[in-house]
Chains A and B, each alone.
Chain A
Amino acid sequence: MTALLRDIAYVRSGDKGNTLTIGVIAREPEHYATVLRTVTPDRVKALFGDWVHGPVHVYPMDNIEAVVVYMENALGGGATSTLRLDQTGKSIGNAILRLRLPGDV
Chain B
Amino acid sequence: MKDALRIGAGSGFWGDALDPAEELLKGGELDYMSMDYLAELTMALLQRQKLKNPEAGYIPDIVPHLRTLMPLAREHGTRLICNGGGVNPRAGARRVAETAAEQGLKGTRVALVEGDDVLHRLDELLASGETLANMETGDEDFAAIRDRVVAANVYTDASGIAGALAEEADVVIAGRVSDNALYVGPIMHELGWRYDAAHADRVGAAITIGHVMECAAACTGGMSSRFAEMPRMGEVGFPIAEVAADGSAVISKLPGTGGRVDAHTIKEHLVYEIADPGNYIMPDGIADFTTLRLTDLGDDRVRMDNMTGKGQPDRLKLIVGYQDGWIGEGLLFFPWPYALERAHKARETLGERFRRLGLQAEQIHFDLVGINALHGPSAPIPEHDDLNEVGLRVAVRTRTREEAEKVRRACSQLWIMGPGGTSFGTPMKPRPVVSVWPTLIPRAAVSQSVDILEA
Contacts and interface: CB of A to CB of B under 8 A. Distances in A.
B54 interface: no
A48 B272 contact: no
B375 A16 contact: no
Interface string B365-397: 101010001111111000000000000010111
Contacts of A14: 272-273
B378 A80 contact: no
Interface residues of B, number: 53
Nearest to B328: A83
A61 B377 contact: no
Contacts, number: 148
A63 B367 contact: no
Q: Is the interface of B mostly helix, strand, loop or mixed?
A: mixed
B166 interface: no
Contacts of B292: 63-64
A12 B223 contact: yes
Interface stretch (B95-103, B167-175, B253-261, B275-283): B275-283
Contact of B377 (A15, A51, A73): A51
Nearest to A50: B377
B378 A95 contact: yes
B278 A51 contact: no
Q: Is the interface of A mostly helix, strand, loop or mixed?
A: mixed
Given A61-B289, A64-B270, A48 B376 contact: yes
A44 to B, nearest CB: 10
Given A10-B225, A12-B269, A21 B275 contact: yes
A10 B294 CA distance: 17
Contacts of B367: 84-85
A83 B365 contact: yes
A65 to B, nearest CB: 8
B225 A83 contact: no
Interface of A: 10-12, 14-19, 21, 23-25, 47-51, 57, 59, 61-66, 68, 70, 72-73, 76-81, 83-88, 90-92, 94-95, 98
Interface of B: 39-41, 44, 136-137, 223-226, 263-264, 267-278, 289-294, 321, 324, 327, 363, 365, 367, 369, 373-379, 393, 395-397, 433-436, 438
